[in-house]
Structure 1
Amino acid sequence: MEVGLAIPQMARGLDRSRVLGWCHAADNGPFSSISAGERITFRNLEGITLCAAAAVATERVRVMTNVIVLPWHQPSLIAKELATIDVISGGRLDVAVGVGGRWQDYAALASPFDNRHQRLDDAVAEVKRLWTGGAAADGESVGPEPVQQGGPRFYGSAMGPKSMARVAKWAHGVSGFTLMADVSEAKRQFAAAESAWASAGRTDKPRHMTGTFVSLGKDSREVLRRFAYEYLEVFSPDFAKQLSESMRIHDKASLRDLLVEMKEIGCDEFVVVPATSDPTMANEVAEVVAEVL
């Protein structure tokens, strides 16, 4: 099993020096990837821009969009943006995509919330076509050509059986997430992915990825609770309060146990999503990862 680090873009206080701190910690530590995702109506730094910055600030780890909400994006433009990141990273980009779950973000972009699953499928197909030399509307190709032959690998953020069946048609694997650090939930997701791959007639196995929110260091429990509440409040204050008070990965022992269990159930990559922007937390995570792997 590999362990990746997410740039804590949803946490307060993230600035240039801290972004660089997380990127350098990922590159110099026992980590496999550095990643960033998307949200519009929140305080976070923009995810694709962060991935471009991480591509330049690192040399070794893979750079991953985890996840970008592809229905928000015009396919020709996002194909160009992602190919650019693949070029400046030297071919280290992975692309995890999904449909998102917040209508507020769609509304802020004047993007329709309906039919988003089909639009995701269509956008993936179009981006892949453009990456392999397909012409845009004016008959010209959209460059640059990605470093990776055929383009970066796609991962789908899928939870239910219908979305898993869709993802099985075009993805290299599944990028999941478990809010409550629930190993049994992750195990069910992995099994569902393998079943969907088999039903799609595929002979390869899906790459299994999942992750959760983690806080280590001073006042870690309260830091995790506050971070989770602020992040989830968009769904409802009561929902955010209930879940944030149940978050449990706020010390080294709980993280160590979680990584051991995830490794045992066949997780290929576990992504640690920090609840603090302070990059010194990466050193503590690295100590735990070194023990487990």
Structure 2
Amino acid sequence: MQVGMTVGMTLPVMEPDIGPDRLHEWAGLIDEGPFGSLCFGERMAFDNPDALTLLGAVAAWTTRVPIVTTVIVPQLHDPVALAKALATGDRLCGGRLSVGLGVGGREEDYDAVGADHAARTMAGLAERAVVLKRVWAGENLTGATRPVGPPPHTPGGPPLLVGTLGPKTVRHAASWADGLAGMTLDVDVDGTAALFDVAREAWAERGRPAPRLTTSFWFALSETSDDPRAQIHRHLRHYMNWIPTEFVDALAPTAGYAGDLAGLREVLARFEAIGADEVQLIPTGDDPEQVRRVADLLG
């Protein structure tokens, strides 16, 4: 399968008891395959790997594939320290990094690190994005004897994408973001198309280059699971632990894509038709055979 858009693969970082050997294996398969990116996100009050530590490992484990954080919540970090960590990651991977930023949907993540709930706003996100860019530009924001480094590999720093599902957030981010790191809970192509249109209009109104448009969704394959819908349900029960179980159970029957590779091909073609630059698949299990099967599909 060849498509104009690219297809990224997310590491199974939110799976129970995920270990370094399995993550290393996944990273190698993604790097060797026809994937447009290797992705992973952040949570604090959870048993997943630390995203910034993992960034260094993934940079060492891979040589080709672009790396995308989907997403980092900068309000959970000191912004100067975050700029240093991301610049280091960008240097380690030779400029293959793109950084998704979002406000985060879980109060408990803020509580886990003593972060200010009042900063959980788009204005707070924008302020921190500006700090990242200023540090990466070499400004001395701390009053120390020299600016905080190292400088990123990418001049001006890695691209910043806004992680969101909502049009209001997209419009607000047009002032600082280079594109959209979207997500669709139920593989809603029409809804994603509408959000892409909002992004295109918002960036054009500010006279900025056209935004990079990406989206993502959970998936499970009948080729690698006896019951792909049940696999998604199990994953959501674990991952969405901050939501009452009855709401997770109500979401699970329509969440993500559960089916065979032929059906996934059709879904990807629909996203290509609305102008997606990339679709990033989010696994709901840690079996590396999923990577191999999707790689075969992409050809």
TM range (shorter): over 0.9
The letter of the residue matching 2:73 is V
Change beyond 3 A, Cα 1:248–1:158: closer
1:18 pairs, out of 17, 22, 28, with: 22
1:239 pairs, out of 226, 241, 247, with: 247
Deviations 1:14-45 (CA, angstroms, capped at 9, x unpaired): 21111111111111111011111111122211
**CA contact 1:37–1:48 (8 Å) conserved in 2:** no
Partner residue, 2:9: 5
Structure 2 gaps, min length 5: none
Question: Does residue 1:285 correspond to 2:285, yes or no?
Answer: no
1:200 CA displacement: 2.2
Taking the TM superposition and a 5 Å limit, the aligned residue runs for 1:210-289 are: 210-216=215-221, 217-219=224-226, 220-247=228-255, 249-251=257-259, 252-289=261-298
Over the aligned positions, Cα root-mean-square deviation in angstroms equals 1.4
**CA contact 2:110–2:117 (8 Å) conserved in 1:** yes
**CA contact 1:36–1:48 (8 Å) conserved in 2:** no
2:176 pairs, out of 155, 170, 177, with: 170
The letter of the residue matching 1:281 is Q
1:209 pairs, out of 205, 214, 221, with: 214
Partner residue, 1:188: 194
**TM-score w.r.t. structure 2 length?**
0.93
**TM-score w.r.t. structure 1 length?**
0.95
Helix, strand or coil: the match of 1:245? Answer: helix
Runs of 4+ in 1 over 3 A off after TM superposition: none
Partner residue, 1:66: 70
Moved more, 227-236 or 76-85: 227-236
Moved more, 86-95 or 250-259: 250-259
**CA contact 1:230–1:240 (8 Å) conserved in 2:** no
Helix, strand or coil: the match of 1:80? Answer: helix
Q: Distance in 2 between matches of 1:130 and 1:67?
A: 20
Q: Distance in 1 between matches of 2:59 and 2:10?
A: 13
1:248 CA displacement: 5.0
1:66 CA displacement: 0.9
The letter of the residue matching 1:97 is L
Partner residue, 1:123: 128
Equivalent pairs, count? 289
Structure 1 gaps, min length 5: none
**CA contact 1:35–1:51 (8 Å) conserved in 2:** no
Q: Distance in 1 between matches of 2:65 and 2:245?
A: 37
The letter of the residue matching 2:141 is A
Helix, strand or coil: the match of 1:5? Answer: strand
Helix, strand or coil: the match of 2:131? Answer: helix
Helix, strand or coil: the match of 1:99? Answer: coil
Q: Distance in 1 between matches of 2:103 and 2:41?
A: 12
Partner residue, 1:45: 49
The letter of the residue matching 2:32 is N
Helix, strand or coil: the match of 2:214? Answer: strand
Change beyond 3 A, Cα 1:273–1:134: same
The letter of the residue matching 1:212 is F
Partner residue, 1:148: 154
Helix, strand or coil: the match of 2:111? Answer: helix
Partner residue, 1:91: 95
Helix, strand or coil: the match of 1:250? Answer: strand
Identity of aligned residues (%): 36
